[in-house]
Amino acid sequence: MSGTLPAPGPLSWPELVTTALLGTDRRTPPGLPPGREAPAALLDAAAVAAVRRRAGLRAAPAAPRPESAAPDPRPPLPSPAARRLAALLADRPGTGGGRRGAAPDLRELLPQWLALANERGFAAPPELLPALLDAARGRTDLRPAALAFAGPRALWLARLNPDWRFALRAAPGGGGLPSAEESDRVRDLWRRGLFAERVALLSALRARTPAAGRALLSSTWPAERAEDRLMFLDSLRTGLGPQDEPFLERALADRSRNVRAVAAELLSALPGSALAARMGSRAATCVAVDVTAPVPTLVVEAPHECDAGMERDGVVAQPPSGRGERSWWLSQLLDAAPLSTWAARFGGRTPEEIVALPVADDWQGELHAAWCRAAVRQGDAAWARALLGAPSAPEAGGPGAVSLAERAKLLGTLGAEERAAWVAGFIGTHGLSEAFQLLGVCAVPWEGELGRAVVDALNIARDAGSYPWSFSGVMGLAERCLAPAEADRLEGLTAIPDETEGAAPGAGSYWAEAFQRLTATLRLRALMTAELTP
């Protein structure tokens, strides 16, 4: 039938594709009327075009073979550790939902394994690099450690496989982020790169040489868009120091309110800055000690106006919905004031003595919450201790910290040992039900007093007969963070306990399974460490 039709005019391949997509009822090959013959004519034209395209291809010289990968000078991974890595990369238990069983979740152990391997300076087995890059592609949290372990061969592979191009952007020397010494590449990427590349470059420079990052930002600051200036300015948190003050002071006059607010926040994190001194002077006029009261009492007089100077220093005049103007202005002054202001203002009292003073007219919550934020912003451990109070305080409420999130932030200002001891005392008094956020800021592994407190609290929760599901978050953290030496103490908890009166039906078997998994995971972590030890 198609042989009796007039030959359609020559059509390019894109035109044929467009005609096929639209349909011959709406568009027909040139020289043909619409009708039943049009589809056949289109197919004939496509067949001719396909043959023409294939016949027209010319043989091309073979592409050059890729250069060999750069050598990795690090020592090879011990054979047992290589087999362990293969198992961690191949096995993904726990992804199907439902009951996890007693087997360790190998997926969650991979980050720890990579950290140990990097700490010991081993090279990745070449045959496992594709699986390692695939794992890092799917989990951004793995990428820094995985790429550090993979070494130069990962970059060689990433240039050959588009799926792994993230390695070129993320790894030093991968063609994405130049070092500070490569000034020409730095300037070129800063002026021509995508926004995400520029942010990554600035962050990397600030982490290594803060002054170089600040100088780079200064070179184009007036020409940047407001939303870009905001993100770039936020990168100055890394390596923030007194040398950044002149630049941040100039940013206080920025035409963007958000940029001004971030600049003010960063300056207030520098207690010696001129802005901090100005805010301290303002805040000091708002809080005083009434020595005429039967007991010395703090009295608060919130600002009556937000003047232009306050606004220039980052005070936002318009309060959020439901917040009073004066209390809003006061909280911002207190947030930014150096905490050293208060010892001078209150007769040399210590932070503990200041926090213990009663506060008149229901201002205590506002005042202490602002001091919490200031202690975190300024990294002041002495004030953090005073605001945290004793971990055994009733209802877990310290003198100033009124929420778990605030306590976790305050704990972050303390040293690792002191932090662990405080959280151990908290768990000993209040149990694990409220401790998840607090445990998250503790250094790992949890050992000594903290490890014992966690195991004892889990044992108490099991004896109470409740389901372990409410403790699943803590159990998951314990599998990754508890010191492997605690496995011996957990061994006695792996048996199914006798059900007590009032216990949830079947809770004992769930607890036994959870402790079996925890014990097996701790023993596996100990074995992983041994396999990576030369």
d(CA 521, CA 193): 45
- From its phi and psi, is residue 362 left (phi > 0), alpha (psi between -120 and 50) or beta? left
| 376-416 tens-digit pLDDT | 999 999 999 999 999 987 654 556 666 888 899 999 999 99
| 182-219 tens-digit pLDDT | 888 889 889 988 887 898 889 989 998 999 999 999 99
pLDDT at residue 94, as a whole number:
46
| 269-295 tens-digit pLDDT | 999 999 999 999 999 999 999 989 899
- pLDDT exceeds 80 at position 34: no
Is the CB of residue 489 less than 8 Å from the CB of residue 454? Answer: no
Confidence tier at 173 by pLDDT (50, 70, 90): very low
Confidence tier at 505 by pLDDT (50, 70, 90): low
What single DSSP character describes residue 151? Answer: T
Q: What value does the mean pLDDT take over residues 29-42? A: 75
Cis ω on the peptide bond leading into residue 445 (within 30° of 0)?
A: yes
pLDDT at residue 519, as a whole number:
93
Task: State whether residue 293 is helix, strand or coil.
Answer: coil
Tell me the pLDDT of the chain averaged across its residues: 87
Is the CB of residue 233 less than 8 Å from the CB of residue 265? Answer: no
- pLDDT exceeds 60 at position 358: yes
- pLDDT exceeds 60 at position 464: yes
pLDDT at residue 450, as a whole number:
96
Between 232 and 473, the more confident residue is 232
pLDDT at residue 39, as a whole number:
85
Closest by alpha carbon to 164, among 146, 188, 190? 146
Specify the DSSP element, H or E, that contains 289: strand 287-290
